[in-house]
Amino acid sequence: MTTALSTTAPNSALLSAAVKDDATAALDDPLEHGRFTRWVSGERGERLAESSLLLSGLHCAACAGIIEVALRGVAGVQAAHVAAASQLATVRWDPQATRPSALIAAVRAAGYDAVPDAAAPARTLRRREFRQALWRLFVAGFCAMQVMMMATPSYVAAPGDLSADMRTLLNWGSWILTLPVLAFSAGPFFKGAWRSLRTRRIGMDVPVALGIGITFVASTGATFDPAGHFGHEVYFDSLTMFVSFLLGARFMEMRARHRAAEALEASLARLPETALRVADDGTVHSVSVLRLVPGDHVRVLAGQAFPADGTLIEGRTQADESLLTGESVPVSKQEGSELVAGSINLGAPVLMHVQRVGNDTRFEAIVSMMRSAATQRPAAARLADRWAGPFLWAVLVLAAGAAAVWSVVDPSRAIWVAVSVLIVTCPCALSLAAPAAMVAAIRAFARRGVMVQRLDAIDGLARVDQVFFDKTGTLSSDRLRLDGWQITTQGERHFVDRQSALAMAATLAAWSTHPVARALVAAVPERGAGSPASGDSWHDIEDVAGHGLRGLDAQGQEWRLGAPEWVMGGGRGAATDIDDAAARTCLGLRGHVLARFDFEEELREGAREAVAALQRDGVIVSLLSGDSAARSHRLAERVGITDVIAGATPAGKLDAVIAAQARGRCVAMVGDGVNDAPVLARADVSLAMGQGALVARSQADAVIASGRLGDLVAARRSAQRALSIVRQNMLWAAAYNAVCIPLALVGWLPPWLAGLGMAMSSLAVVLNALRAAR
């Protein structure tokens, strides 16, 4: 079911009403089902759908009951459950009897609202992980407190105050309370250790599991046979407290991961589920965004997200591109402007031409980069992992040696000394030192509009001491700016003043989307004012490729706007150089030049400030361009760059970077074009502009999606701060082990204090790493 509307005269209210009545119909498309539905088997083996809906408007538990009744009243619904706290509904329904749109309609009829919950599977996994972690922590913490109460008399009672029977009874009670901690709370440690041993590798869970197991076995022997080999001392309090501390630290790490995943899902939620596709006959149909293809025309209402990458072909508006820029400042959009999937239309209804959909959009590319970078391990982390294996073997040998020595010195203390050594030397902090800081740094980069594709780029960016900038599209934007104009002697007979000549040129230029034409139009906000012809009086307009624009005015006279020789009657000869045409454009009538317009490339926002900031930090800044020497030096002078390499081919650019690296420089390359891809791949660190060519972005270590070069400076400083934090974490982990291992060996560090120290060490590393996200 679709609704068709005429788009001859777009009406926002009419379209909004149509969207409200019909947008949910697109959810019945089988392609949409996979976003929020999973398939299950019924009691009789029939195929049923189980959909997740995100609700709004709930205020109490009674609201949940009302929605459940409304959903169960839909024919084909077999079960419905609503959680008021999370405002989520799970509905099991028969696809032969009903549709998702009917479910949402039922919720709305009850006075609430609902939308598909596309992130339900991932949220379900996180919820399950959270509940398990919370229960494990609760059981360990609760039992540890009870065990500690039973152990307290043994610590505080004076000699003779605590009878042997009472001590045995308390030990038995501690043993019983330790069982759920061992069997349930400590389960992840034993599973992790078994996985490591099964793959013939040694991980951090191995010494932890050994410590827990040895402590329990020794304490169990002391409980039931105080006169046996294990002596009479029990360490159930140390065991349960150690498990509680370690689970507490891991719980906080898990919450940090979940917050990062939720932030990514919030970005994914920016895309709409449906779009208003405009047919060739001008009618509008609400379709799933998964049905869009390049070449479609889509109507986007105010307040909606753009469903794909494309260009604006009708209307003017403003867009919120904070996903790309990190700022909520609206960006003006005119006909011909680029539109980015996921950005919000803030102004008025517009018509867009779809260019890229699905995984080809910049939005999906950014999400892919974030996911890829978040799952990579930096070089520092890989180095720590390589050393963690030998270190753990050394720990096991050291613990065995300590147990052997203490079995001679004081057999009653041999077990808990060995356990303390195993626990205190667990390299959790060492392994967390680098990745925790790097992942936090990625979040800081993303907020500034810099999307990291390769995690090692953070280390390289912090060490960069020479930056090569491409010119066109990097230091300069893709727009031209009118630098000045003058009218000729013949032009003085046609125009009242210079402003009239500019207005006349702008009315003709308004018929073209060429950068020169757009610059002329932008120079005259009220185009046509004071000109002999208005924009509506032109006819027989022709855009001559490589030359310019020509058209007839109301009197039938042919005007030309473009390259000088063509305006003077050069005909359709060889096309002039586009850059030369951009530098000097003429307006003429009947082969006579009446006005000349000079243009220059518009600097990218913050380019001059970014170059100056890098130079203040001691970085050598160079311009590496394939453009002519004159234009390259002119732009370099405007931004403050003195080292210029102009007229460079892709091979020449590659040679320049290789030469800098041969001089011992750590080189960063910032570019945007196809010809920049080889040099981006060669540089120590490469950054591509978010609006650049796909091949350039694919070769880059990071993408400046915001398009602001100032974010490069901020990213470099964030990278330096992240590496500083990594060094602090490494130093802390080394100092912790250097201090605590001798204390454990000499018997001054009981197992419970070793567990507290290890957990607090890991927690301190994680909390310190979070500073990199600022």
- Residues serving a catalytic function are 470
The CA–CA distances, whole Å, from 732 to 29, 72, 762 equal: 56, 58, 10
User: What are the backbone angles phi and psi of residue 649, rounded to the nearest 5°?
Assistant: -80, 170
Q: How far is CA 491 from the centre of its chain?
A: 55
**In the sheet where 350-356 sits, what is the strand order?**
284-288, 274-278, 297-300, 350-356, 309-314, 338-339
46 residue type, one letter: E
The CA–CA distances, whole Å, from 361 to 36, 319, 551 equal: 22, 17, 37
User: What are the backbone angles phi and psi of residue 45, rounded to the nearest 5°?
Assistant: 85, 5
DSSP summary character for residue 6: B
The answer to whether the beta carbons of residues 508 and 538 sit under 8 Å apart is yes
The answer to whether the beta carbons of residues 566 and 548 sit under 8 Å apart is yes
For 605-627, b where at least 16 C-beta lie within 10 A, e where not — what string? ebbbebbebbeeeebbbbbbbbb
Query: How would you write 706-749 as a 3-class SS string?
Result: CCCCHHHHHHHHHHHHHHHHHHHHHHHHHHHHHHHHHHHHCCCC
C-alpha atoms less than 13 angstroms from C-alpha of 415 in its C-beta half-sphere? 23
591 by DSSP, 3-state: which? coil
d(CA 372, CA 607): 29
d(CA 687, CA 680): 7
CB atoms within 10 A of CB 713: 22
CB atoms within 10 A of CB 89: 24
The token pair at 469 is 């900038």
Exposed/middle/buried for 556, CB within 10 Å: 0-12, 13-18, 19+? exposed
d(CA 727, CA 719): 12
540 residue type, one letter: D
51 DSSP β-pair partners: 37, 91
The answer to whether the beta carbons of residues 438 and 458 sit under 8 Å apart is yes
d(CA 497, CA 500): 5
310 by DSSP, 3-state: which? strand
Q: How far is CA 607 from the centre of its chain?
A: 24
Task: Name the residue with tokens 């040129």.
Answer: 505
Task: Name the residue with tokens 């070793």.
Answer: 754
The answer to whether the beta carbons of residues 669 and 657 sit under 8 Å apart is yes
d(CA 130, CA 120): 15
The token pair at 55 is 């609700």
Q: Is the dihedral of CA 51, 52, 54, 58 positive or negative?
A: positive
d(CA 572, CA 613): 48
